[in-house]
Amino acid sequence: MNFEMYLFKRERGRNVSETFKEDPRLKNAFKEFLLMNGVLVAYTIVWFLAMLTWARNPYTLILGLPWWFAMSFIAILFNVVVAAATILGVKDDDLSAYAEGEQQ
Amino acid sequence: MTGPVTSAERTITLLIFIVFQLILIGIALQSRRKLQKTAIDKYTEEFYTAGRGLGVFAVAFMLAAGLCSVGTFLGGPGLAYSIGIPYVSLIGLQVFMNFSILVGIGKKVAIIGRRINAFSIGDILSKRAEDFKPLAILYALIIFLFYSVYAASQFLGSARIFEVMTGLPFYYALITAGIVTLIYATFGGIRGVALSAVVQGIVMTVATVFLIVFVFKNTLADYGSLANVTKALANTAGEKYVTEYMPLKWQLGLWFMFDWGLMALPHGLQAAFTYKSTKALKGAVIIGAIAVTFWTLSMLMSGLLARLYVPDLKVADYAIPLMVMKFSPWLGGIVFSGVIAAAQSTIAVMIMVISGALLQQLYRNVKPNATPVQLKKATLYLTVVAAVLPFLLALVQIPALEYLIIFAVGGTASAFLAPIALGLFWKRGSKYAMSSSMVVGLLVYIMGKAVYKPLAMGWDASVVATLSSFLVYIIVALIKNERPSQHVLNLFWGVNKPNTTV
C-alpha cells in the first residue's frame, strides 16, 4: 500500500482530492461542466422572462413581429453566447489517456 | 397551392426516397473498407468509436441528427399544430443539445473513455461503480428494453409517413429503411453511422430550407404579414389556440428534460466517444447548435402555420407532409427524405448503443475471456439483434407506442442523469450510491407517470424522478461514507496511471 492509499484509508473524513494528484485536464472538464450549466440556466431565465412578459397579450408585436416569432431571436442570440462560451471557455486540452509531461 | 396529390407526384417522392437509400448503401460499403483493414484486436474499438478519430462534421451531425428524430420533424410540429402558440412558445427547447453534452461532459468522457477503452457510457458507469455487475446488467436491460421500443417508434413513424406520401403500403418503407439501416450499421459500425449522419444532416437541412421558404412565402402572400397570422390562427382554430397556456410546471419540466435530460441519453452521448480533438469538439458544438436551432425553430413554426392550410387533420403528425405536398410534390419528396433521414440517423445510433450494451455489459460479463475473434463475431451478431428487434416491434405495430416512447426517453434520463453527473464529477459514492440512484430514478418515474400520478406533484414525472435520483445518490454516498477505490479515483480524476505510485 503506498503512502497516499494509506492516507485515504486512515483519514476517511478527509477531502479525497488531497490523496492523489489531479489531472488538470479533468479539472478543466469540471469547469466546463459548470460553464455549460451556467449558460443553460441563463438561457432558461431569459427565455421564460421574455415569454411570461410578452405572452400576457397574445397579439403583442416585437419589432413588428408576433411575439412567438420574436422568441426565436433569443435562441439565435444564445447561439452566439454558446459559440463564445465554447471558443473561450473550453480549454484546448490533449485528449490522450494520460497527457505527456503531466504524470509524476 | 396546387390541388390533390397526383400519382406522378407520388412517384417523384418515391424516386427521391430510393436515391437517398442508395446513397446510404454506398456510404456503408465505403465504411466497410476501413473496418476490414482494422486489426482484429482493434476491431471492436473501431466498430463502436471509429478509432476515436472523427472530425467536426461527423461528430456534429451524429449527435444532432441522432437526437433530432421523427419527434423533431413530425411529433413536435404535430404538437405545434394541435396545441398552437402555447407550445410554440417553447421552441427554444433542445437547441443546445450538442453544447450540453459535449461541453458538459464530452471532455471527461473522451479522456476516461481512452483510459479504460470504453465504447459507451455504460462502460464508464460500470467502471466508476467498481465493475459492479448488477449495475452493468441493469444498464443493459434499461437500454435494451427502452431503446428497442424507441427505435421501433422511429421505424413506424417514418413508414407511416411513407404510406401517406406515396400511397404505397407502409411495409415497403419499413422493410427498405430497416434493411438499409441494418446494412450501414453492421457494415460500417459507428463510422458508417456517422458518415451517413452527415449526409442525413445535410438532407434534413436542405429539406428544412425548402420547407421554411415555401411556408413563409405562401403565408406572407396569403396574409400580408406575420403580424396578421396570430389573428388568422385564432379565427381558424379558436381563441384558445393563441391564449391557453400549459401550466408553468409542465413547461419547466419539459425544458429541464430537453436541456439537461438529454445529457443522460446514451445515444446522444455516443458521439463523445468518437471525436479526435478538442478542436473537433468545439466545431461540433457550434455547428450542432446552428443546425438544431434551425431545424427546431423552422419545424415548429411550420407545424403552427400548417393549421392555416390543412386545418382539420385527424392525425396532427401528418401536418407538415400533407401541407408541403399541397405546395409542391418536389418539396414533398425533399421534406419526406428529411423525415426519413431523421428517423434513420436516430435508429442507427440507437442500434449501436443497444449492441454496445449487449456486448459490453452482458456478453463480456458472461464471457470475460472472449478472444478478439469471438468479440468480432459477437459484435456483428449483437448488432443484427439490436436492429432486428425494433424492426419486428414496428412490424407488429405494438399498441400505445407513443406512451412507451415517453417512458423510454423519460425513464432513461431519470435513471441515468444522476449517476452520470455525480459519478463523473463528485468524488463520493460508488456502486451502492450509483445503483440505488439508478433504480430510484427509474421507479419514481414509472410510479409518477403511470401508477400514482400525484407523486409527480404537478411536474412532469421525470423532474421528480431525477431529483429523487440525485437525492438518493447523495444520501447513500454520505450515510455509507462510500468512496471510490484509489484505482477508480486515479482513473477518473488522477494524473497518473492507477498502477503507478504518486
Residues 227-256 of B with CB under 8 A from A: 227, 229-231, 234, 242-243, 245, 251-252, 255
Selecting from A59, A75, A93 the residue whose C-beta is nearest the C-beta of B92 gives: A75
The pLDDT mean for chain B works out to 89
Whether A5 has a pLDDT exceeding 80, the answer reads no
At A16 the pLDDT is: 56
C-alpha cell at B453: 400520478
Whether A7 has a pLDDT exceeding 60, the answer reads no
Instruction: Give contacts of B497 with chain A, Cβ < 8 Å.
Output: 98, 103
Residue of chain B minimizing CA distance to A91: B278
Q: Which of B436, B434, B433 is nearest to B478 (CA)?
A: B433
- Provide, rounded to the nearest whole percent, the portion of chain B with pLDDT above 90: 49
Task: Give B245 or B417, the one with higher predicted confidence.
Answer: B417
The whole-number average pLDDT for the span B274-297 is: 96
The span from the CA of B463 to the CA of B253, in Å, is 6
Backbone angles phi, psi at B244, to 5 degrees: -85, 105
Helices (H), A11-66: 24-54
Residues 78-97 of B with CB under 8 A from A: 85, 88-89, 91-92, 95-96
Closest approach of A54 to chain B, Cα-based (Å)? 10
Whether A20 has a pLDDT exceeding 90, the answer reads no
Confidence at B149, pLDDT banded by 50, 70, 90:
confident
At A1 the pLDDT is: 41
Residue of chain B minimizing CA distance to A22: B494
For residue range B257-268, what is the model confidence (pLDDT) as tens digits?
A: 888 998 999 988
Q: How far is CA B207 from the centre of its chain?
A: 19
Confidence at A102, pLDDT banded by 50, 70, 90:
low
Q: How many helices (H) and strands (E) does chain B have?
A: 25, 0
At B399 the pLDDT is: 62
C-alpha cell at B155: 421505424
The span from the CA of B49 to the CA of B66, in Å, is 15
For residue range A33-59, what is the model confidence (pLDDT) as tens digits?
A: 999 999 999 999 999 999 999 988 888
Neighbours of B146 (CB within 10 A): 22
The span from the CA of B396 to the CA of B387, in Å, is 15
Interface probe, candidates B108, B276, B485, chain A, greatest A C-beta count within 10 A = B108
Whether B500 has a pLDDT exceeding 80, the answer reads no
Q: Which of A42, A40, A73, A103 is nearest to B496 (CA)?
A: A103
Least-confidence region, from A20-34, A51-65, B346-360, B391-405? B391-405
At B183 the pLDDT is: 85
At A19 the pLDDT is: 67
Interface probe, candidates A22, A57, A90, chain B, greatest B C-beta count within 10 A = A90
3-state DSSP assignment of residue B92: coil
Partners of A62 in beta bridges: A65
Instruction: Give contacts of A8 with chain B, Cβ < 8 Å.
Output: 483, 486, 489
Whether B336 has a pLDDT exceeding 90, the answer reads no
For residue range B55-107, what is the model confidence (pLDDT) as tens digits?
A: 999 999 999 988 888 888 888 899 899 999 988 888 898 999 999 999 999 99
Under a CB-based contact definition with an 8 Å cutoff, are residues B15 and B171 in contact? no
Q: Is A53 on the interface with B (CB under 8 A)?
A: no
Which residue segments constitute the domains of chain B, with CATH numbers given? 7-493 (1.20.1730.10)
Using CB atoms within 10 Å of the CB of residue B343, give its burial: 0 to 12 exposed, 13 to 18 middle, 19+ buried: buried
Interface probe, candidates A20, A25, A28, chain B, greatest B C-beta count within 10 A = A20
| Global ipTM | 0.90
Backbone angles phi, psi at B470, to 5 degrees: -60, -45
Instruction: Give contacts of B111 with chain A, Cβ < 8 Å.
Output: 23, 25-26, 29, 95-97
Confidence at A8, pLDDT banded by 50, 70, 90:
very low
At B412 the pLDDT is: 92
At B5 the pLDDT is: 60
SS (H, E, C) B200-243: HHHHHHHHHHHHHHHHHHHHHHHHCCHHHHHHHHHHHHCCHHHH
